[in-house]
Amino acid sequence: MPVPEKDRKINFGQRSKEMDSFQLILIAFFLFLCCSSYADDYSDGDRGSMCTPGMDNSTWSNAVQINLNNVVNTLEQNVNFHSGFYTTTAGEKSDKIYGLIQCRGDVSALNCANCTREAFKLASDRCYKSKSAIIWQKWCYLRYSNQSFFGVWEKSAMAVSNDTDVDEPFVASKGLAMMGTLVSTTPKEPLMFAVSELDVERSGKRYGMAQCTRDLSRSDCGQCLDYLLASFGMTVGHKKGWEAYGVGCSMWYNNYRFYSNFSTPKDAGLESQHNAAQRKWTGRFAVGIITLTTMSFLVFL
């Protein structure tokens, strides 16, 4: 972590050229660390999580742990063989666990596999002995529970935006209109995943993307996306970049082309990766501001 400005003492009096060069290198290195942490905090990995309270030893049985492990293993082994989406169950009656994993529709198979593994690790760390967990990642979405949730979306959501990057009102209005169109068109797509592009002339272009988990009906997909846009359109819709994550659907918007041409094929090589920040939201409604990155997080639960 860079040293705070008030505590940093650099004497710019007389010194050798070698010392000047050395300090310039140090300054450049600290700037690199600062800028890297700024970019990675938003662009990489972790977006948030929700867990039920952890169980104590009297209610957390070995059967539940075995079933959860089986669900996790099955999801990881199958997600890339089913176009980045898979559901499974393990166990019987009160020990039964339901699981779902979905990768973003534009990511490569490698990123899908990496994100899946990272999501499982975060769930294990944050939701220890919890029978229900949701992990939102940049490239994937994980959910498991001891209650059946397949085919059901819920009115719980969170949004991420950059507070310092505000758009002109007329551009923001056009951007929200584009996202509204995605609400209508995404459910009609074969994989319920869609992207869109808007040319706002001198202000450049704006890009949008939306996706629903494929266990939902097309009607529920539209309702889920409509809920996201209605919940956060007024609070983050005027920003040049924002993301909204729900339980069953997600939306992304930015002033640069953030999505890729990749898709998850039926087979892929696997490579481990571990790179995510530690964030968690609890409570009915919460707003958090991380000063270093000036990113805002809004949550509706």
Q: Give the model's pLDDT for residue 281.
A: 28
**What does pLDDT average to over the chain?**
76
Q: Work out the average pLDDT over 137-152.
A: 95
Residue with tokens 């070995």: 62
At 64-91, the pLDDT tens digits run 999 999 999 999 999 999 999 999 999 9
CATH topology of domain 153-260+279-300: Killer Toxin P4; Chain A (3.30.430)
Residue 250 three-state SS: strand
What's the full length of the chain, in residues? 301
Long-range contacts of 53-62 (CB under 8 A, 24+ apart): 53/130, 54/127, 54/128, 54/129, 54/130, 55/129, 55/130, 55/131, 56/129, 60/129, 61/95
pTM of the model: 0.73
Helical residues (DSSP H) of 97-244, grouped into ranges = 109-126, 169-185, 218-236
In the chain, where are the structural domains located?
49-145, 153-260+279-300
- Tell me, which fold does domain 49-145 have in CATH? Killer Toxin P4; Chain A (3.30.430)
More confident residue, 217 or 235: 217
Fold: same for 49-145 and 153-260+279-300: yes
